């Protein structure tokens, strides 16, 4: 196995971030891998190292999607909107 000198990673989801952290701990235990990911899933609580994750407001996103689809069904000429939904940064270390 070879070692890469990577210190920071942005991951698309918590599960992938956890796999990268665990792989790094086995390959290079003295170097920490600082990682941020998305989803804030329950599995991230079981990690024994720091994991920053962006908690997406899934219920709010789902409601907005349904409302937008209903509006477009009633009026297909509506322009496609750009919608922003605020999430929350969560930083945690589990035991």
Task: Say what the pLDDT of residue 56 is.
Answer: 86
Task: Say what the pLDDT of residue 45 is.
Answer: 67
Task: Say what the pLDDT of residue 94 is.
Answer: 47
The answer to whether 52 and 91 are in contact (CB under 8 A) is yes
Domains of the chain: 8-93 (3.40.50.2300)
pTM above 0.75, yes or no: no
Task: Say what the pLDDT of residue 82 is.
Answer: 93
Profile the chain (95 residues) by mean pLDDT over runs of 10 residues. Answer: 75 88 84 83 68 86 94 94 89 59
């Amino acid at each position: 196995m070879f070692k890469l000198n990577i210190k920071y990673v942005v991951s698309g989801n918590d599960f992938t971030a956890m796999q990268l952290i665990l792989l790094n701990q086995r390959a290079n235990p003295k170097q920490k891998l600082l990682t941020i990911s998305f989803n804030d899933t329950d599995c991230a609580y079981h990690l024994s190292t720091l994991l920053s994750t962006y908690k997406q407001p899934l219920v709010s996103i789902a409601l907005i999607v349904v409302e937008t689809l209903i509006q477009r069904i009633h009026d297909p000429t509506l322009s496609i909107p750009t919608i922003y939904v605020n999430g929350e940064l969560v930083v945690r270390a589990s035991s």
